[in-house]
Amino acid sequence: MKLAFSTLGVPGLPLPDVLRLATEHGYHGVELRAHPEEPVHPGIGAAERAEAAAKFKESGVELLGVAGYARVAAPGDDEPVLAELRALLDLARDLGAPYVRVFPGGTAEQSPEEADATAARRLGTAAEYAGDAGVRILLETHDSHRTGADAIRILGLVGHRQVGALWDVMHTWLGGEQPQETYAALSPYLGYVQVKDIASADDTTPLPLGAGVLPLAETVELLSRHGWDGWLCWEYEKRWYEAAAPLPGLLGAGRDHLARLLNDSA
């Protein structure tokens, strides 16, 4: 498996500094948070996109994916959501990223069936555009659809190879789902896995990997046992928890922890 980290842990950091951190600490890739407050987002122009792609190529660090914020199950008209998806897919294509992350984003005013159908309709429509762009859309286990069982209801309706799943181990755990249950649901669709650690279900402040309660060892062992050879991406949510320790000082130990888990699972 390859190791990456998300720029959510280093909000606003210039891309050259992000790539330097990845290189210095032995990470194979980086997931870029595609928000307007970040250096790389759908609003930048062609020259900036080409420059960013060139920086990745020069560094030898892979661009794992573009982490967008489109909410595909959210109520309302389809077109604004589809336009956001197209913009994210264009950015990923221009940067050379294989994946775009999206959220479910259903709300309490919808029935589960309505949220599922809305998300599936939009993802199905965007799938052809994604195919032309050479990019795969990944629905993250998050918010209204936080477990693999939730996500599979949408993915099963879409049934398109350009639409898959992003397994966030915190959300599936918070949803009461065991790793083997999540893997069984998502394995036909799995793009990559986001790892992290927290103190408890009541305190989701990010911790160094291995310092909390999330089933990271069990998840890595499960993936290894099934021969899955994708990406593990550390999503350290520093952007939402200002009091959390800075990520750069944790990256080396985090890489070592994941390497130990992989070695123990070999």
Distance CA 11, CA 209 (A): 19
pLDDT at 259 > cutoff 80 = yes
Cα 156–chain centre separation: 20
The band of 125, judged by pLDDT with boundaries at 50, 70 and 90, is very high
Q: Determine the 3-state secondary structure of 248 from DSSP.
A: helix
pLDDT tens digits for 169-197? 999 999 999 999 999 999 999 999 999 99
**Looking at the whole model, is its pTM more than 0.95?**
yes
Partners of residue 65 on adjacent β-strands: 31, 99
The candidate with the shortest Cα–Cα distance to 251, out of 35, 52, 7, is 7
pLDDT at 266 > cutoff 90 = no
Distance CA 30, CA 11 (A): 13
Single-letter residue type at 244? A
The band of 265, judged by pLDDT with boundaries at 50, 70 and 90, is confident
SS3 content of the chain, % helix, strand, coil (to 5): 45, 20, 35
The candidate with the shortest Cα–Cα distance to 170, out of 129, 109, 212, 119, is 212
What percent of the chain clears pLDDT 90, i.e. is strictly above it? 98
- Could you tell me the CA-to-CA distances from 102 to 20, 24, 165, 217 in Å, in that order? 27, 29, 9, 26
Q: Which domain holds residue 179?
A: 2-265
**Phi/psi of residue 166, nearest 5 degrees:** -115, 115
* Total tally of structural domains belonging to the chain: 1
Cβ count near 153 (within 10 Å): 18
pLDDT, residue 255, reads 98
CATH, residue 62: 3.20.20.150
| Sequence-separated (6 or more) residues with CB below 8 Å from residue 242 | none
pLDDT tens digits for 209-249? 999 999 999 999 999 999 999 999 999 999 999 899 999 99
Cα 144–chain centre separation: 16
pLDDT, residue 264, reads 87
